[in-house]
Chains A and B, each alone.
Chain A
Amino acid sequence: DIQMTQSPSSLSASVGDRVTITCRASQTIVTYLNWYQQKPGKAPKLLIYAASSLQSGVPSRFSGFGSGTNFTLTISSLQPEDFATYYCQQSYTTPRAFGGGTKVEIK
């Protein structure tokens, strides 16, 4: 099975900061990598699919990059509504494993 490792597990940042989260796959997943945002008590929401494609309706301050085994999610200017937990997920094969999550907190 493919293992997904995210870092950091948590971070503190201020409104307006640039934030980058990293996700690494245990073997190549080409660009079959998705990013989700989850707020407390809510279902996850798709942000980025295929490593770098922005889901409809998602603000352009979110961007994704990478291929193979190394991927990043960047928030160019953190907004108050962006404080949440972010998960990467590989969709190259089953099981569709998720990373452990990165909690973005207010500094």
Chain B
Amino acid sequence: QVQLVQSGAEVKKPGASVEISCKASGYTFTNHYMHWVRQTPGQGLEWMGIINPNGGSTNFAQKFRGRVTMTRDTSTSTVYMELSSLRSEDTAVYYCARESSGRYGIYFDSWGQGTLVTVSS
């Protein structure tokens, strides 16, 4: 079965960077785009960006451009999201989500368990 397993919780100081991993299994890694979505405490879901594991091309939300990097390692079926210049407002749970598409739509059908990133001095 499809599984997305994310790395563990992180505590970072303002100005630092954080890298979160998302290891995929149960499907052909390069056949599905991967997205990153975050959720600040008590708030809704915020789309951050997308990576195509087949080739590595990316597209980011305007809000995060210049601060976010998304990469992949096809040998381990893992995608990575790095967010730099962290501030307290970046305290959130970060999710990876697999995109599936077909004749009837495009949707996120599998999600990682989430990684809590806490930014605090």
Question: How many A residues, CB 8 Å from partner?
Answer: 26
Contact with B along A27-52 (1 / 0, CB 8 A): 00001101010100001111001110
Give the dominant DSSP class at A's interface: loop
Question: How many B residues, CB 8 Å from partner?
Answer: 23
Of A44, A87, A95, most buried by chain B (CB within 10 Å of CB) is A95
Contact A34 B112 (CB under 8 A): no
Task: Give the A-B pair count, Cβ closer than 8 A.
Answer: 66
Give the dominant DSSP class at B's interface: strand
Chain B residues with a Cβ under 8 A of chain A: 35, 37, 44-47, 50, 59, 61-62, 95, 97, 99, 104-109, 111-114
> What are 13 A-B contacts defined by CB distance under 8 Å?
A1-B62, A36-B108, A46-B108, A49-B107, A51-B105, A53-B104, A55-B107, A87-B44, A91-B107, A94-B59, A95-B47, A95-B62, A99-B44
